[in-house]
């Protein structure tokens, strides 16, 4: 977008943020990538957070919810390979120990430190390895380590996910950076991932939390890979104010929110595109319904339909599965007005008009569906509310990956 000047650095691009990551053997015995990391702000930051709706929330989620209530934080300890979920009181005690250890080595209080985990459920953390790792990471903290920490949080992800840019406000230039992990166990209600956003802007905690919730509803909560909502979903935003630019005027608040929404949409899209075993990104646009709730229901139902996911994998323009999903979504609409089209960079084809199927060129449709990114357009001609959802196809590799996830 012309509004943003994209820059290198990812999560550590904003002023005052540093990171470090190493391998400590949390799950894998192969030293192919780091598995524990620290994100640190030189100044205390205003914080906001969104968390999983899964009743079996992991220990770090329970702990992080407490920290968000304080309104500020200065560091985040993150590990991959072990979710620290369904680990009882010991799991929560271990989370607190990690926060205390991190705080001690950084000269902070324990409640200045978030702790986030992702990986296998039901296994206690290897505390000795992790405590030693924290001590080793702290001396390596650097603003140059954004890409390294983005790799450290990956589990079944095939690529790191990060983005950063500058934004001009009335008081000057601010920077925003983000990173995320997510590939499997992805479904709306906070999606399934760890995601982090940093900014050197100055903004109130109340405004920041409201912005984050609104952006999540339009982005991460409109994403699905496999219909499973994780125990460890967590999105944290830190604003340390080190740019000296305050987000206060009505126009600046509007611009800043648009940037948070944009970065959330882009990261959600990256996660959906990297769904476990996926060969296609599916973007569903549900347009012109009576309510926003109806539009979101339709978009999510189509993006989450396993039958439609399989059709896209097979490059089969089986649009009936689109309409079927819309029909069971729970949305209210008139069936006789609906148009449906499929699109990719290879072209666009109409498959349904005013509630009835059209004869279409199957070869052209197959050519369209060979592309990586597939767009589904549903126009209900029944209102002005629209929504977009992100998903991916369902492939043989998804089963392979999840068949031996613990081993």
Angstrom distance (rounded) from CA 232 to CA 292: 27
> Which residue of the set 12, 102, 192, 395 is catalytic?
192
Tokens of 45: 């930051």
The beta strand positions in 170-310, using DSSP E, are 172-181, 194-199, 234-239, 281-289
Tokens of 382: 């029944």
Residue ranges of the annotated binding site are 155, 181, 192, 276, 402, 407
The beta strand positions in 182-223, using DSSP E, are 194-199
**Whether the Cβ atoms of residue 155 and residue 4 lie closer than 8 Å to each other:** no
**Whether the Cβ atoms of residue 155 and residue 230 lie closer than 8 Å to each other:** no
Angstrom distance (rounded) from CA 208 to CA 283: 28
Residue ranges of the annotated binding site for substrate are 155, 181, 192, 276, 402, 407
Angstrom distance (rounded) from CA 399 to CA 278: 11
N-to-C CA span, the chain = 42
3-state helix, strand, coil in the chain (%, to 5): 35, 30, 35
Q: Would you call 23 helix, strand, or coil by DSSP?
A: coil
Residue 72's CB is within 10 A of a number of other CB atoms, namely 18
Task: Choose among 400, 389, 11: nearest CA to 191.
Answer: 389
Residues across the chain: 407
Angstrom distance (rounded) from CA 136 to CA 338: 59
Nearest-10 Cα torsion for 268, 1, 372, 229: 10
If phi over 0 gives left and psi between -120 and 50 gives alpha, with beta otherwise, what is residue 257? alpha
192 in catalytic set: yes
Angstrom distance (rounded) from CA 180 to CA 161: 5
Catalytic (active-site) positions: 192
């Amino acid at each position: 977008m012309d509004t943003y000047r994209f820059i290198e650095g990812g999560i550590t691009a904003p002023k005052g943020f540093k990171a470090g990551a190493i391998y400590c053997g949390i799950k894998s015995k192969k030293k192919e990538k780091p598995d524990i990391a620290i994100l640190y702000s030189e100044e205390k930051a205003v914080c906001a957070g969104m968390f999983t709706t899964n009743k079996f929330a992991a220990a770090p989620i329970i702990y992080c919810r407490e920290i968000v209530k304080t309104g500020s934080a200065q560091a985040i300890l993150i590990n991959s390979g072990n979710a620290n979920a369904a680990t009882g009181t010991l799991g929560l005690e271990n989370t607190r120990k990690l926060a205390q250890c991190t705080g001690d080595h950084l000269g902070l209080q324990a409640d200045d430190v978030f702790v986030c985990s992702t990986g296998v459920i039901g296994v206690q953390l290897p505390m000795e390895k992790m405590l030693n790792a924290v001590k080793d990471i702290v001396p390596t903290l650097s603003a140059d380590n954004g890409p390294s920490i983005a790799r450290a949080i990956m589990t079944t992800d095939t690529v790191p996910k990060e983005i950063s840019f500058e934004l001009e406000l009335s008081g000057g230039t601010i920077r925003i950076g983000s990173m995320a992990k997510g590939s499997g166990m992805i479904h709306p209600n906070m999606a399934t991932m760890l995601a982090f956003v940093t900014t050197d802007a100055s903004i109130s905690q109340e405004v920041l939390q409201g912005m984050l919730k609104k952006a999540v509803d339009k982005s991460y909560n409109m994403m699905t890979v496999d219909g499973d909502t994780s125990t460890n979903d967590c999105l944290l935003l830190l604003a340390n104010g080190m740019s000296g630019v305050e987000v206060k005027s009505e126009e600046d608040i509007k611009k800043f929110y648009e940037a948070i929404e944009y970065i959330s949409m882009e990261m959600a899209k990256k996660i959906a595109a990297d769904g476990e075993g996926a060969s296609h990104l599916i973007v569903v646009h549900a347009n012109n319904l009576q309510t926003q709730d109806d539009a979101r229901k339709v978009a999510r139902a189509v993006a989450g339909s396993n039958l439609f996911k399989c059709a896209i994998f097979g490059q089969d323009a089986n649009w009936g599965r689109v309409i079927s999903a819309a029909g069971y979504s729970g949305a209210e609409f008139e069936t006789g007005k609906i148009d449906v089209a499929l699109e990719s960079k290879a072209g666009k084809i109409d498959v349904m008009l005013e509630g009835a199927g059209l004869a279409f060129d199957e070869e052209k449709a197959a050519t369209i569906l060979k592309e990586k990114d597939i767009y589904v357009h549903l126009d209900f001609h029944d209102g002005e509310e629209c929504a977009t959802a992100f998903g991916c196809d369902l492939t043989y590799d998804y089963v392979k990956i999840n068949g031996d996830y613990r081993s």
